[in-house]
Each structure stands twice: as C-alpha cells, then as structure tokens.
Amino acid sequence: MFPDLKRLIEQMSSDKGIEKIIVVEAIVVAIVSAAKRKLGQNVDVEANYNDETGELEVFQFKTVVEHVTDPLREITIEDACKNFDAGAQINDGLGIKLDAGELGRIAIQTAKQIIIQKVKDAERDNVFEEFKDQKLTIVSGFVVRQDMDGVVINLGKTEALLPPNEQISQEFLKRGERVKALIVDVRKSSKGPQVIVTRFANNFLKALFELEVPEIADGTVSIINVARDPGRRAKVAVTSKNKDVDPVGACVGMRGARVQNIVQELKGERVDIVAYTEDKVQYICNALAPAKVHKVIIDEDNKTMDVIVVQDQLSLAIGKGGQNVRLAAKLTGWRVDVMTEKIKGEEAPVNEEKQEVTDVNAEKLSQEQ
C-alpha cells in the first residue's frame, strides 16, 4: 500500500516540520478508516506501525463463538481452530491479520486523503503554537492581496491579515511589497491559524525602535511613552539608564540613519524623539519642540498646563490642525493649552486658580533637546 513506508514517514516529518509520531498516528487513523470503508463500519479493526521493520500491521478482531450472528465481529470455533489458532476457545478474542494492500482502490485513496488532511492539521497546529507566543513582536512578509477583510501578508509559514482598522490611513500597500507589522492576535480557524497584525498601533512604532536601536533592545535606553497620529506624525519620549548615553542621539542614529529607517517603513510619517525628564515643565517644552516656550502655568489639581509662547512660535507650537500640541499632550499626559503674550514683554493674564507659574529659558531648553 505504502512502499518504503519508513522513509516516507521520515521524509514527511522532516519536510513538514512535524513529529514522526503525528505522521504515524495519521497513517494509523487513515488505515482503520479505509478498512471500515472496505469491510463495514461495525468491524473491530486496529492498525499498528512497527518502527524497526517499517511495517504497517492491520488486525481485525473477532470473538470466537459456537454460532455466528455477526460475521464482522464473530467467528466460529471450527473456523478459528482450523485457520488461525488451533487452541482457540469459546469467547476468546482472535486477531486476524489483514493485508493492507487488499483494502481496495477507493479505500486506499480515502486513506491517502485522510493522511494528507491530518498532516495539514498538524502543520496548522505547529504554526499556531509558534505564532501564539509571538504577540507584540514584529514580523515581515510580502503583500499577497487586498480585499474587504484587509491586506493579506505572506509570512512564509502562514499568512497574516492586516485589517482596515489596523492600517495606516491613506497608506497603499502594493502586491509583492515587503512590509513589517506587529502581531496583535493569533486565532484558530478552519483554514488554519489566523495571524492578525497592525501597522496603526503605538506599539508598532515602539517595536520598530526596539528593532532599530540596540540601546533600546539591551535596556540601556527606555521608551517612556508614544503618541502617534499614524501616517502623519509621532512623538516618542525616551530616557537613558546610563548618563553617558544620550537617549535622543541613540534613537536618531548617526546622521539620522536609525530614525530615517523607521520613517521609511512608515512611508514618511514624521517622528519626533523627545527627551523624557521628571521635570514637568522641561518635559512639556521638549514635547512641544521645535517650538520654543516662554512660560508654563501649571494647575496640578486639574493636571492642565497653559503654555505661553511668543507670537512667531505659536504656529509651530500648535502645529497643523493642532497636531503638535495634541501629540505633546498625549505624550505627557497633561491637558495643554497654548497661547501667546498679548503685549511684548508683558505676561499673559493668569487664571487665579493656577497654582504655579514657571518661566522657561527657551534657548537653554532647546539646546538640551
């Protein structure tokens, strides 16, 4: 039925990356199914594979009786003694060896189909087990197609789905294009494991920095927070455990190479690297760069800040459509309102509820970024 069965099992195991025992179990199940298809569903059949000899043995079990009422499961004592076991007695269980090659063409074809399906199922289980432990890690693959469900990315062993809500707005991924994405979920389905990925989430940007910046990978530099308007602009707050390592410089890289690699992967999304500090005033000033801040008024109780800038810095501080100040607020966790001094050299009106007014040396802070 299966010439060179031992070699076949070893080859299937090696090619598919699954354990030999799974292939053997698939073959055994298939042979039992084929035997029942040939002899009848009520037949008592067992199959065993001998790894030493590479032989597949199939046995039909019958009970020794005086008078047969079920030919599939019973045998007369005369027939048992004459043809199989001279010492057989009533009620004994008798195992009759079958020739697997005589199960019939349709039965054999059914067995082969079962084996193929069982091996596919085992492959899918292996892939699921591999990818389920890779959540929040970056994978890379080629775009296969795009449909209503999203963009399908070939990862090699399986395909990943990039749903519409996990895509960067206005980003068009071409067929055959290599892209990176972050695994957010792995599900089992009838078609195999379904790997769900994102390019939209903040964690994707964070993971890109972990890939690109060795100092982040080894823990020297840490990402404190990420604020992102996917496809347009992002701010990443970083700090260093080593005073001799500049966290911003490490992320930017020589001549901006590291951050540019990330920007290219994000199709031009602007990424600002912000130096984190526990000094709230300096932190918000860093976050609002490239704008220079003149004064910060803090309301600790309501966690709000009024940021005062000179007139020519207002558009920079707010950003297009309020993007810069909005991302700075997300990054720092404070509500931020930007305003200008009404008269040069004169302080802006201060709300009586404000608890702290802090002058900022804008030039010094801009140099420290």
**Runs of H (alpha helix) within the chain:** 5-16, 20-39, 77-83, 105-132, 202-212, 214-217, 247-252, 257-265, 280-287, 314-318, 323-332, 362-368
CATH 3.30.1480.10 maps onto the chain at 5-123
The CATH code that applies to domain 201-276 is 3.30.300.20
d(CA 163, CA 177): 17
Topology adopted by domain 136-198: OB fold (Dihydrolipoamide Acetyltransferase, E2P) (2.40.50)
Q: What is the CB neighbour count within 10 angstroms for residue 152?
A: 17
**pLDDT tens digit at each of 369 positions of the chain:** 455 677 777 877 777 677 788 778 878 888 888 888 888 888 999 988 888 877 888 899 999 999 999 999 999 999 999 888 888 899 999 988 887 666 656 656 766 777 777 777 877 888 888 888 888 899 999 999 988 889 999 998 888 999 999 999 888 899 999 999 999 999 887 777 789 999 999 999 999 999 999 999 999 999 999 999 999 999 999 999 999 999 999 999 999 999 999 999 999 999 999 999 999 999 999 999 999 999 999 999 999 999 999 999 999 999 999 999 999 999 999 999 999 876 444 444 434 334 444 555 434 433 443
Question: Does domain 281-369 bear CATH number 3.30.300.20?
Answer: yes
pTM score of the predicted model: 0.68
Element (H, E) at 342: none
Residues 6+ apart with CB under 8 A from 346: none
Q: What is the CB neighbour count within 10 angstroms for residue 229?
A: 17
d(CA 163, CA 168): 10
> How, if at all, do strands 138-147 and 178-187 pair?
antiparallel
d(CA 131, CA 181): 13
The CATH code that applies to domain 5-123 is 3.30.1480.10
CATH 2.40.50.140 maps onto the chain at 136-198
CATH 3.30.300.20 maps onto the chain at 201-276, 281-369
Task: Write out the two tokens for 11.
Answer: 């080859």
